């Protein structure tokens, strides 16, 4: 869990990134695939909470917990970080998360099809996000995340609920691809934890 002081500070610094974020070009095809995922994810409560035993958790790498506070922290701490780096981390981490959930589901489990549909959607999203140019290596911290996620013998494990992992996926998607999710109520700060606070109207509909 990110400590409150860290993310508060991170949130403040995060604001400084609003401008570069807006300039990141996201193509129509990319937004279309992300919106399909968004729609699919509105069903995550039923599939990842109601269909599971109460408080059921799965074991994931530390790095597979990728939340808003991780994004703001990386933005503050990593020099040379590009939005594309964070988007790549998001893609990788969430594909790993889905693999982990599928691994504990028998094929006849009521959430099996839903989870493998999500996996397919991610594969489609991957196709519309071309790999970053070969000339640029991602910052070291980002490489480290890639390596840790792929390390089968990692020592850093945490137990979390599948629903919380998909909530992270949903929120960070809005933060990292905000121009695909314009809102009628004007500019939304999807990267701020406050935006997702319980009690808000949209939150009630979604969780």
What is the contact surface with ligand NAG in residues (CB under 6 A)? Answer: 1-2, 54-55, 62-63, 65-66, 70, 145
To the nearest whole angstrom, how small is the minimum distance from the Cβ of residue 70 to ligand NAG?
4
Give the span between the Cα atoms of 22 and 176, in whole angstroms. 10
32 versus 45: smaller Cβ distance to ligand NAG: 45
Tokens of 161: 């609920």
2 versus 31: smaller Cβ distance to ligand NAG: 2
**Which uninterrupted H or E stretch holds 174?**
helix 162-176
Specify the residue for token string 């937004």: 31
Give the span between the Cα atoms of 4 and 186, in whole angstroms. 27
1 versus 28: smaller Cβ distance to ligand NAG: 1
To the nearest whole angstrom, how small is the minimum distance from the Cβ of residue 55 to ligand NAG?
4
To the nearest whole angstrom, how small is the minimum distance from the Cβ of residue 191 to ligand NAG?
14
Computed on alpha carbons and rounded to an integer, the radius of gyration of the chain in Å comes to 17
To the nearest whole angstrom, how small is the minimum distance from the Cβ of residue 36 to ligand NAG?
24
Give the span between the Cα atoms of 151 and 61, in whole angstroms. 9
To the nearest whole angstrom, how small is the minimum distance from the Cβ of residue 93 to ligand NAG?
6
Specify which residues 158 forms β-bridges with.
60
**Which uninterrupted H or E stretch holds 157?**
strand 157-160
φ, ψ of residue 58 to 5 degrees: the values are -120, 160
* Cβ proximity of 195 and 189 under 8 Å: yes
66 versus 177: smaller Cβ distance to ligand NAG: 66
To the nearest whole angstrom, how small is the minimum distance from the Cβ of residue 47 to ligand NAG?
19
63 versus 83: smaller Cβ distance to ligand NAG: 63
116 versus 154: smaller Cβ distance to ligand NAG: 154
């Amino acid at each position: 869990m990110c400590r409150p002081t860290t993310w508060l500070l991170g949130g403040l610094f995060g604001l400084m990134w609003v401008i570069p974020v807006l300039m990141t070009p996201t193509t129509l095809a990319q937004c279309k695939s992300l919106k399909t995922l968004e729609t699919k994810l509105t069903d995550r409560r039923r599939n990842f909470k109601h269909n599971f035993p109460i408080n059921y958790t799965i074991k994931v790498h530390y790095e597979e917990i990728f939340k808003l506070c991780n994004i703001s922290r990386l933005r503050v701490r990593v020099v040379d970080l590009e939005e594309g780096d964070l988007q790549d981390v998001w893609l990788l981490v969430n594909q790993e998360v889905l693999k982990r959930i599928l691994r504990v589901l028998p094929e006849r489990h009521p959430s099996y099809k839903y989870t493998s549909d999500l996996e397919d959607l991610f594969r489609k999203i991957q196709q519309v996000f071309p790999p970053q140019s070969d000339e640029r290596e991602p910052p070291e911290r980002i490489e480290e995340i890639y390596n840790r996620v792929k390390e089968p013998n990692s020592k850093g494990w945490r137990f979390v609920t599948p629903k919380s992992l998909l909530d992270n996926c949903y929120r960070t998607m809005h933060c990292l691809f905000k121009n695909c999710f314009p809102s009628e109520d004007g500019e939304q700060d999807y990267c701020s934890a406050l935006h997702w606070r319980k009690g808000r109207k949209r939150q009630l509909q979604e969780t």
